[in-house]
A and B are shown apart, each in its own frame.
Chain A
Amino acid sequence: MPTTTCACGGKAAAKDVKDNIFLPKEAKIVRVEKTTEMERIFTLRLADESQMKFEPGQILEVGLMGYGEIPLGLASSPTREKTFDIVVRSVGRVSQALNRLQQGDTLLVRGPWGKGFPLENLRGHDLLIIAGGIGLCPTRSLIQYALDRRKEFKRFILFYGARDPQQQLFLADLADWRKSQDVEYHETVDRGDPTWKGNVGVITSLFSKTKIDPGTRVVICGPPIMFKFVIRELEKLGVARANIYLDLERRMKCGVGKCGHCQINDKYVCTDGPVFAFSEIEHLEEAI
Chain B
Amino acid sequence: MSFHFIKDQDFPAFLSGLIKARTVVGPVAKTSRQQEKFVFARLTDPAALRLDYDVTILPPKKEFFPPKQNLLLFDGPRVTPGIEPEEKVLFGVHPYDMKALDMTDALFREKNEDRNYTAHREAATVVVSSVQKVSPRAFWASIGTEVKPKGHDAWLTKVAGGCVYEAVTAKGEALLQHGKFAAASEEQKKAARRADEEAARQCPEKLQGTSASNAKKVRAAFSREELWTKFAQDCFSCGSCNTVCPTCYCFDVQDWWHVDQNTGGRTRTWDSCLTEDFAKISLGAGAQENFREERAERFRHRFMRKAAYLNEKLGGPACVGCGRCSAACTADIADPTAVINSIPEA
Contacts and interface: CB of A to CB of B under 8 A. Distances in A.
Question: Are any A and B Cβ atoms less than 8 Å apart in their complex?
Answer: yes
Interface of A: 2-8, 12, 15-17, 19-24, 26, 38, 65-69, 89-92, 106, 108, 113, 224, 249-251, 253-254, 256-261, 263, 265-266, 271, 285-286
B39 interface: no
B253 A254 contact: yes
B280 A259 contact: no
A66 B74 contact: yes
A17 B250 CA distance: 23
A20 B113 CA distance: 8
Nearest to A89: B284
Contact of A6 (B78, B83, B252, B291): B83
Interface string B233-257: 0000000000000000111111111
A24 B271 contact: no
A254 B251 CA distance: 9
Interface string B65-92: 0000001101001111101111000000
Contact of B80 (A2, A108, A258): A2
Given A256-B111, A257-B112, A65 B266 contact: yes
Given A89-B284, A251-B279, A260-B273, A4 B112 contact: no
Secondary structure of the A contact surface, majority rule: loop
Between A15, A26, A66, A106, the greatest number of chain B beta carbons within 10 A of the residue's beta carbon is seen for: A66
The 9 closest A-B pairs by CB, nearest first: A260-B250, A91-B284, A256-B112, A65-B74, A266-B309, A22-B71, A91-B282, A92-B282, A20-B81
B119 interface: yes
Contacts of A20: 71, 81, 83, 115-116
15 contacts: A6-B83, A8-B85, A12-B119, A22-B72, A38-B284, A65-B74, A89-B284, A91-B285, A113-B112, A253-B252, A257-B112, A260-B250, A261-B252, A263-B305, A263-B309
Contact of B309 (A92, A254, A265, A271): A265
Contacts of B77: 26, 65, 106
Interface string B263-278: 0101010010100001
Category for how many chain B residues contact A = 35 or more
A113 B251 CA distance: 18
Between A16, A22, A24, the greatest number of chain B beta carbons within 10 A of the residue's beta carbon is seen for: A22
Given A22-B72, A68-B266, A266 B312 contact: yes
Given A21-B115, A260-B249, A261-B271, 10 more contacts: A3-B78, A4-B80, A6-B83, A12-B119, A65-B255, A66-B256, A91-B285, A92-B282, A113-B112, A250-B291
B313 interface: yes
A266 B113 contact: no
A8 B284 CA distance: 44
B6 to A, nearest CB: 31
A59 B126 CA distance: 37
B10 interface: no
Contact of B253 (A113, A250, A259, A265): A259
B77 to A, nearest CB: 7
B71 A66 contact: no
A92 B282 CA distance: 6
B331 interface: no
B78 to A, nearest CB: 7
A23 B107 CA distance: 19
A223 to B, nearest CB: 8
A263 B254 CA distance: 19
A3 B279 CA distance: 34
A91 B283 CA distance: 6
